[in-house]
């Protein structure tokens, strides 16, 4: 019942979650991890050099806000890479014009991804822990990883850091798309 209630609250309070990437849930891997089918996505990104992922997100958000202006809004922020070079980005709508300057736009091909949700502050240690937990869940399920993990932060101005929703994600081999382990 608690899971149902929290899902309902998230659906009401955080509408950006559902439309953030237009990914479709395929199946649960563990209580914390699920597989999703994601379409091709256009991502506007900037590179930030720092050791701390929280600092990278803050600086990357500022740069993206300069490039996108009010279009940035409360969009989820993507964080990929490794210290000291991080990539911070947001998904652009298919019909949305690319920013003129300040960011690079790339297309992420359609993929099956695994996602592990969590809440709390960002740190280098927490970043590594969540990625490791995702890898562990996938290994237990016999699902092979096909890329480097990244994180998504769903910013909400009115929520304190400890309540902010985040996800660790990684592309997995296509055999997982049909709900079978490769």
33 inside domain: yes
* pLDDT (0 to 100) of residue 71: 85
- Mean pLDDT within 145-169: 81
Using the predicted structure, report yes or no on whether residue 109 has a pLDDT greater than 60.
yes
16 inside domain: yes
Q: d(Cα 3, Cα 16) in Å, to the nearest integer?
A: 19
181 inside domain: no
* pLDDT (0 to 100) of residue 9: 32
- Mean pLDDT within 153-178: 75
* CATH assignment of the domain containing 169: 3.20.80.10
Q: d(Cα 177, Cα 21) in Å, to the nearest integer?
A: 17
Using the predicted structure, report yes or no on whether residue 150 has a pLDDT greater than 70.
yes
CA dihedral for 120, 121, 125, 131, sign (positive or negative): positive
In whole numbers, what is the pLDDT of the chain averaged over residues?
A: 80
Find the range with the poorest average confidence among 49-53, 64-68, 100-104, 134-138.
Answer: 100-104
For residues 4, 154, 74, 76, the Cα torsion angle rounded to the nearest 10 degrees is -120
Number of domains in the chain: 1
Tell me the residue range of the domain where 23 lies: 2-176
Phi-psi region of 42 (alpha: psi -120 to 50; beta: other; left: phi over 0): beta
Using the predicted structure, report yes or no on whether residue 70 has a pLDDT greater than 80.
yes
120 inside domain: yes
pTM: 0.77
Local confidence band at 3 (pLDDT 50, 70, 90 cut-offs): very low
Which tens digits make up the pLDDT trace of 10-65?
333 333 333 345 789 999 999 999 999 999 999 999 999 998 888 998 999 999 99
182 inside domain: no
- Mean pLDDT within 61-75: 89
* pLDDT (0 to 100) of residue 133: 94
CA dihedral for 62, 68, 74, 75, sign (positive or negative): negative
């Amino acid at each position: 019942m608690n899971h149902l209630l929290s899902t309902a609250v998230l659906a009401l309070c955080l509408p950006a979650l559902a439309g953030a990437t237009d990914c479709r849930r395929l199946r649960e891997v563990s209580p914390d991890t699920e597989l999703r089918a994601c379409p091709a996505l256009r991502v506007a990104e900037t590179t930030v050099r720092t050791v701390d992922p929280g600092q990278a997100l803050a600086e990357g958000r500022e740069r993206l806000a300069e490039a996108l202006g009010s279009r940035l809004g409360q969009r989820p922020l993507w964080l990929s890479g490794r210290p000291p070079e991080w990539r911070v980005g947001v998904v652009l709508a298919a019909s949305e014009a690319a920013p003129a300057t300040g960011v690079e736009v790339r297309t992420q091909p359609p993929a099956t991804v695994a996602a592990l949700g969590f809440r709390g502050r960002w740190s280098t240690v927490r970043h590594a822990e969540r990625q490791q937990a995702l890898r562990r869940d996938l290994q237990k399920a016999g699902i092979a990883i096909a890329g480097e993990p990244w994180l998504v932060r769903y910013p909400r101005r009115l929520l304190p850091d400890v309540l902010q929703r985040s996800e660790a994600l990684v592309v997995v081999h296509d055999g997982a798309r049909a709900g079978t382990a490769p």
